[in-house]
Homo-oligomer: A and B are copies of this chain.
Amino acid sequence: MAHPPSPSPSPSPVSPPLKDELDIVIPTIRNLDFLEMWRPFFQAYHLIIVQDGDPTKTIRVPDGFDYELYNRNDVNRILGPKASCISFKDSACRCFGFLVSKKKYIFTIDDDCFVAKDPSGKEINALAQHIKNLVTPSTPLFFNTLYDPYREGADFVRGYPFSYREGVATAISHGLWLNIPDYDAPTQLVKPLERNTRFSLSLSHFSIISLLIVLYVDAVMTIPKGTLFPMCGMNLGFNRELIGPAMYFGLMGDGQPIGRYDDMWAGWCAKVICDHLNLGVKTGLPYIWHSKASNPFVNLKKEYKGIYWQEEIIPFFQSVVLPKECTTVQKCYIELSKQVKEKLNPVDPYFEKLADAMLTWIEAWEELNPPPQAAAAAALPTATPVKK
């Protein structure tokens, strides 16, 4: 396992933007020591920890963090029969955190992700960059060759239509990874360097640095309308008010025929809905330092059906048309679940189960996130933190 870059001697805490409007969601099965490195950037924020696997295990959270923690017993207690839509023994369980949050923005990160450094050696405040991405517009309707036109030093280039320069609201900010890229099992297997990194075999410090230099791209860009992308859940920000109900990570892991496609599923669904509702999706900065490649042999088993099915799933999502009556994310998502059931069930009966779970997810979302007036009228059960 490669080691994350050592922290700077004394990182000074930064002023926390949107402190009261953002939750950090972390799915985990282990003690959260990784938070120590993130302390200067995360400590001002509220954490929602979703404990995966054995609920009797105690997860240690470093002192000084403000958090709520949910294990499987909590998920079952809060959602009742609807808990069936939340995956078990898979990081897909993270979407439970999106459900119980009451904030406008979510940043979700894996517990093997550390603070990366930019080429100048400065520690990257990933959260601050996600916030910057989310609070500035996106440009999905026309490509700007100088990347994010709202970034300092950039602008719209000659020939960019003026009527498009206001952009659209940004729903999703997809961050990237230094050290171990997010490859599928076959690619992990055929990339000796990455395998060497994983197994700590003969990888000199110099090789790590070269890899870094090659991969660091100093850009944020909008993914154009009509184009799908592979959304990775490792380092991801989104506007929960704009796109939250589409951020369902599907049925993966224990008892399911597939794994490691949770974030992909969410990304495909969210992108077609963003395109329909004229919302933006950005990718690029910020980078995090991904410390640990998962075992490619285990991954291959988890991914096998996904790799096979995606050849039919992608054309399906590329051809999805949502009717104009679908004016909210919820309506879009319900319509999408119908189309999944109709078009993907022939691929495998799993998709009927998944389509049903998509509906259950929306029911759970509406129960836990009633519109303001409904919430005031009825005292509906809401999530309560288990531990703080």
Report which A residues bind B (CB closer than 8 A): 119, 142-147, 151-164, 174, 176, 181-184, 186-187, 191, 210-211, 214-219, 223-232, 260-261, 263-264, 267, 283, 303, 307, 310-311, 314
> Ordered nearest first, which 8 A-B pairs have the shortest CB separation?
A153-B214, A159-B230, A143-B229, A224-B227, A159-B264, A158-B184, A217-B219, A226-B226
- Contact partner of A183 (CB less than 8 A), chosen from B157, B164, B186, B267, is B157
A sample of 11 more A-B contacts (CB under 8 A), given A143-B223, A143-B227, A158-B303, is A119-B119, A142-B227, A143-B229, A154-B214, A155-B181, A156-B183, A157-B232, A159-B261, A160-B230, A218-B218, A224-B224
Residues of B within 8 A of A226 (CB): 224-227
Given the interface pairs A155-B181, A182-B157, the reply to whether A314 lies near B142 with Cβ below 8 Å is yes
- Contact partner of A230 (CB less than 8 A), chosen from B157, B183, B215, is B157
- Residue in B closest to A142 when the chains form the complex, CB atoms: B228
Main SS class of interface, A: loop
Residues of B within 8 A of A229 (CB): 142-145
Residues of B within 8 A of A156 (CB): 183, 187
A227 vs B176: C-alpha distance in the bound complex, in angstroms? 23
For residue A244, give the distance in angstroms from its CB to the closest CB of chain B: 21
A143 vs B215: C-alpha distance in the bound complex, in angstroms? 17
CB of B267 within 8 A of CB of A159, answer yes
For residue A284, give the distance in angstroms from its CB to the closest CB of chain B: 8
Residues of B within 8 A of A230 (CB): 142-145, 157-160
CB of B310 within 8 A of CB of A159, answer yes
Residues of B within 8 A of A184 (CB): 157-160
A234 vs B12: C-alpha distance in the bound complex, in angstroms? 44
A24 vs B181: C-alpha distance in the bound complex, in angstroms? 38
Given the interface pairs A218-B216, A224-B227, the reply to whether A181 lies near B161 with Cβ below 8 Å is no
Given the interface pairs A147-B217, A211-B153, A215-B153, the reply to whether A264 lies near B314 with Cβ below 8 Å is no
Given the interface pairs A145-B176, A227-B225, the reply to whether A183 lies near B155 with Cβ below 8 Å is yes
Residues of B within 8 A of A232 (CB): 145, 157-159
CB of A228 within 8 A of CB of B143, answer yes
CB of A310 within 8 A of CB of B154, answer no
Residues of B within 8 A of A183 (CB): 155-158
A156 vs B230: C-alpha distance in the bound complex, in angstroms? 10
CB of B218 within 8 A of CB of A217, answer yes
- Residue in B closest to A271 when the chains form the complex, CB atoms: B143
CB of A146 within 8 A of CB of B176, answer yes
Residues of B within 8 A of A218 (CB): 216-218
Supply 7 A–B pairs (Cβ within 8 Å), ascending by A: A146-B176, A146-B215, A157-B230, A158-B182, A158-B183, A158-B184, A219-B219
A128 vs B79: C-alpha distance in the bound complex, in angstroms? 59
A162 vs B187: C-alpha distance in the bound complex, in angstroms? 10
- Contact partner of A217 (CB less than 8 A), chosen from B174, B217, B264, B283, is B217
